[in-house]
Chains A and B, each alone.
Chain A
């Protein structure tokens, strides 16, 4: 089992955009899919996001993310008209209204929203390193302890994956000559080993944190930092402009 990671290295516009700007824009784009407005906006934003992902990450990546949501979209397309039967009939079979104008509008709305949100989150988290995300959240005001918890978690994920794989192989060797066991019979002993290994690390980690000064009152330093000064001002100005552009159609429609 390979250690998963969302980050895909690259040099596209999305990769180079300041991580704080990306998070602000993500919230703005997500909010746009829930604001009341003209019906064309959500599909238009979805198409724009699809092009953005295709151009910045590659159309193969775009294909992968769309393929992953196709089953969900199929369920939405099939089941939503059953619950929305208002408006004019578009498709009927033996006097049973299968698809109406309201049903079709609702399907388009939900499909656009689900696909758009998926693409927006994908675009951000595929181009955002987890360490930069934690530092960005600190900049937004996340308390130091919460950021430390996330940093510890990201640090231990690969270690515990390694322990899981080693434990699994060891247990498979031990069980290879006994009676065959089901999935849970094989997995629970492995999980027990991994959990015990993880829990044993906690007191040593706590001691290491205290040796490094955790809990002291003096101001903390940080090994990594994000750009500041003109680059930050430019990124925030660009973000403000893009947010205004995103919200403009809704304001004009009022």
Chain B
């Protein structure tokens, strides 16, 4: 089975998406304390960008959206689950599609950087729009933009490093791309 093979069995795709969704949830529960603001931010974006860079856009989109939705459902913020499903799904899809450009034997750093930037814009913009329209209004939405931007940028950096480390340690991961 070659990498990115379109004849990949559907059982492999279902298994990959299910396991990576669980991975997004687990990594999303690793939280960085921010003492100055008494806030937290999650590392779920690291898992989404890892999936985008190592496993392809569709795994990243579905696992990213479902995983963050599940985090909201089981974490007590279920009202954000539909937004997370859509926003992080789009983030994973866009980042994965851009990262697939120039894919070769070395990590394509330029396309990964561009993927991180576009994913960050989609994620922060998506939450800004959703917060303004659905939840707490524009005033509240604006206060969270900086945190969302920081979370996504850290996610893109961490996801890239994780993708390089895992590809080096486990080369057969290329066969799971689609």
The residue in chain B whose Cβ has the minimal distance to the Cβ of A124 is B78
Task: State the CA gap A192–B81 with chains docked (Å).
Answer: 27
Instruction: Establish whether residues A198 and B29, one from each chain, have CB atoms under 8 Å apart when the complex forms.
Output: no
8 Å CB contact of B75 from A4, A117, A124: A4
Of A68-76, A171-179, A238-246, which stretch is located at the interface?
A: A68-76
Task: State the CA gap A67–B50 with chains docked (Å).
Answer: 34
Instruction: Establish whether residues B165 and A192, one from each chain, have CB atoms under 8 Å apart when the complex forms.
Output: yes
A75-B143, A191-B30, A210-B9 known; A153 and B25 CB under 8 Å? yes
Task: State the CA gap A114–B133 with chains docked (Å).
Answer: 11
8 Å CB contact of A206 from B15, B76, B79, B166: B15
Q: Taking the nearest CB of chain B, how far is it from the CB of A85, in angstroms?
A: 13
Q: Taking the nearest CB of chain B, how far is it from the CB of A110, in angstroms?
A: 5
Instruction: Establish whether residues A6 and B162, one from each chain, have CB atoms under 8 Å apart when the complex forms.
Output: no
Of B65-73, B90-98, B103-111, which stretch is located at the interface?
A: B65-73
Instruction: Establish whether residues A79 and B139, one from each chain, have CB atoms under 8 Å apart when the complex forms.
Output: yes
Instruction: Establish whether residues B74 and A200, one from each chain, have CB atoms under 8 Å apart when the complex forms.
Output: no
Q: Which residues of A contact B165 (CB under 8 A)?
A: 188, 192
Q: Which residues of B contact A113 (CB under 8 A)?
A: 135
Q: Is the interface of B mostly helix, strand, loop or mixed?
A: helix
The residue in chain A whose Cβ has the minimal distance to the Cβ of B138 is A83
Instruction: Establish whether residues A188 and B158, one from each chain, have CB atoms under 8 Å apart when the complex forms.
Output: yes
A45 at the interface (CB under 8 A from B): no
Query: CB-CB contacts of B1-26 with A at 8 A, as 1s and 0s?
Result: 00000000111101111111111011
8 Å CB contact of A1 from B29, B50, B73, B75: B29
B173 at the interface (CB under 8 A from A): yes
Task: State the CA gap A79–B132 with chains docked (Å).
Answer: 13
8 Å CB contact of A6 from B43, B46, B76: B76
Q: Which residues of A contact B50 (CB under 8 A)?
A: 195
8 Å CB contact of B29 from A4, A83, A150: A4
Instruction: Establish whether residues B22 and A156, one from each chain, have CB atoms under 8 Å apart when the complex forms.
Output: yes
The residue in chain B whose Cβ has the minimal distance to the Cβ of A160 is B26
A182-211 interface with B by 8 A CB criterion: 183-184, 187-188, 191-192, 194-196, 198-203, 205-207, 209-210
Task: State the CA gap A150–B77 with chains docked (Å).
Answer: 19
Q: Which residues of A contact B136 (CB under 8 A)?
A: 72, 75-76, 110, 114
Instruction: Establish whether residues A153 and B78, one from each chain, have CB atoms under 8 Å apart when the complex forms.
Output: no
Query: CB-CB contacts of B152-178 with A at 8 A, as 1s and 0s?
Result: 000000100110011001100100100
A1-B29, A72-B140 known; A117 and B135 CB under 8 Å? yes
A36 at the interface (CB under 8 A from B): no
A58-86 interface with B by 8 A CB criterion: 65, 68, 72, 75-76, 79-80, 82-83
A194-B23, A199-B170 known; A82 and B14 CB under 8 Å? no
B32 at the interface (CB under 8 A from A): yes
Q: Which residues of A contact B173 (CB under 8 A)?
A: 199
8 Å CB contact of B139 from A80, A145, A183, A205: A80
A106-B137, A206-B9 known; A192 and B169 CB under 8 Å? yes
30 contacts between A and B (CB under 8 A): A4-B29, A65-B76, A72-B136, A76-B139, A110-B140, A130-B73, A149-B17, A152-B19, A153-B25, A154-B22, A155-B22, A160-B23, A164-B26, A164-B30, A183-B32, A188-B158, A188-B161, A191-B43, A191-B158, A191-B162, A192-B162, A192-B165, A195-B23, A195-B50, A196-B170, A201-B15, A202-B15, A206-B11, A214-B11, A214-B14
Residues of A within 8 A of B (CB): 1, 4-6, 34, 65, 68, 72, 75-76, 79-80, 82-83, 106, 110, 113-114, 117-118, 120-122, 124-125, 130, 145, 148-157, 159-161, 164, 183-184, 187-188, 191-192, 194-196, 198-203, 205-207, 209-210, 214-215
